[in-house]
Amino acid sequence: MARHLKIAAAQLGPLHRKDTRVDATRRLVALLREAHGMGAKFVVFPELAFTTFFPRWWMEDQAEVDRNYFERTLPSADTQPLFDAARKLGIGFYVGYAELTEEQGRPRRFNTAVLVGPDGTLVGKYRKVHLPGHAEHKPKAAFQHLEKKYFEVGDLGFRVWRFMDTITGMLICNDRRWPEAFRVLALQGAEIVALGFNTPTENLHYPEPPALRVHHHLIMAQAMAFQNATWLIETAKCGHEDGFRMFGHSLIVAPSGEIAVKSQTEEDEVICYNCDIDLAANLKKTMFNFAAHRRPEHYKLIVERVGAEVTPANEPAAKR
Ligand code: CDT
């Protein structure tokens, strides 16, 4: 019998600087209840779901940044109601947050997501690997994207977990632009990839039409789901946060590469789909049968080289 799992993407509208974690948690719980009303068993919340997208601001007082935006524990007293409500409703979830931890007496900060089972157990943790933007202040820019200042590169790798009778992996926002991240999950048998995001509608570096940015978001999602034969759930935090707009377009993509359902607003909104987890079985046995068709001996540059290096000159044909 085919396995089905009803999955929801619980999109958040803006969270402003003045909004507290208690405010955010209240909204997340309301979304969770709405998803439950739609029959969802697994809910994917956004990246950094308890605060505004703070890397858009240059801030020098790290103690204040830690206090206002980072979680020393998850759940905390403020965020506990989400965990309680999910356990009570028997819903598993993914949620993103700014993690502050201490290792060997040294503070460490990560852009993190956790996977929580329907019984409330912490199943998995992922720390964002691809940190976009910059570390230095750009005073002339309309806004900052300081993930490289506030976070370290994740140190847990790309993993999957046995979760609710599926094999589920986690990514965070900018990871969705890197095929390598998806492929590493797919090579571990991923059937579902969950991902939260915060994507500014404007390009920080050069003028770009907002519609083109959404176009890139959609084609990436469709291609990654199809080429890796996985379900893909991508959930936005969006709208005008303190005047800075981020786009919505949360979606659930089938392993066929088709968008099953997509959000319509830039506000709090739940979308839900009954996912046939075995839908990709044929694809995994044929076109994307990795064991039969992949040629890793020809992919060595993928791990040996980081940046592109232009080949100096064509060798004579005889030497090739
Ligand atoms: N949150 C996040 O990773 N956002 C990035 C914006 C990059 S623009 C410097 C994204 O890839 O959507």
pLDDT band at 316 (very low <50, low <70, confident <90, very high): confident
pTM for this entry: 0.97
Residue 255 pLDDT exceeds 90: yes
d(CA 207, CA 210): 9
Whether 285 is a known active-site residue: answer: no
Minimum CA distance residue for ligand 1 atom 1: 198
- Note whether 135 and 151 are within 8 A (CB): no
Whether 64 is a known active-site residue: answer: no
Helix (H, G, I), strand (E, B), or coil: what is residue 117? coil
Residue 24 pLDDT exceeds 90: yes
Residue 52 pLDDT exceeds 90: yes
pLDDT in tens, 202-222: 999 999 999 999 999 999 999
pLDDT band at 76 (very low <50, low <70, confident <90, very high): very high
Whether 173 is a known active-site residue: answer: yes
Calculate how far, in angstroms, residue 75's C-alpha sits from the geometric centre of ligand 1: 26
Residue 317 pLDDT exceeds 90: no
Q: Measure Cα distances from 131 to 52, 97, 181 in Å.
A: 17, 14, 13
Helix (H, G, I), strand (E, B), or coil: what is residue 90? coil
Q: Determine the average pLDDT of the residues in 264-287.
A: 97
Residue 320 pLDDT exceeds 70: no
Helix (H, G, I), strand (E, B), or coil: what is residue 128? coil
Strand partners, 124: 115
Pocket of ligand 1 (CB under 6 A): 47, 132-133, 145, 173-174, 177, 197-199, 204
Q: Measure Cα distances from 219 to 181, 182, 206, 215, 250 in Å.
A: 16, 14, 21, 6, 13
Residue 106 pLDDT exceeds 70: yes
Class of domain 4-319 as given by CATH: alpha beta
**What pLDDT sits at residue 315?**
78
Q: Which of 173, 238, 272, 275 is catalytic?
A: 173
- Note whether 64 and 301 are within 8 A (CB): no
Minimum CA distance residue for ligand 1 atom 9: 133
pLDDT in tens, 135-191: 999 999 999 999 999 999 999 999 999 999 999 999 999 999 999 999 999 999 999
**What pLDDT sits at residue 21?**
98
d(CA 40, CA 228): 24
- Work out which ligand 1 atom sits closest to the CA atom of 55: 1
The structural domains of the chain, with segments of one domain joined by +, span 4-319
Average pLDDT in the chain: 97
pLDDT band at 319 (very low <50, low <70, confident <90, very high): low
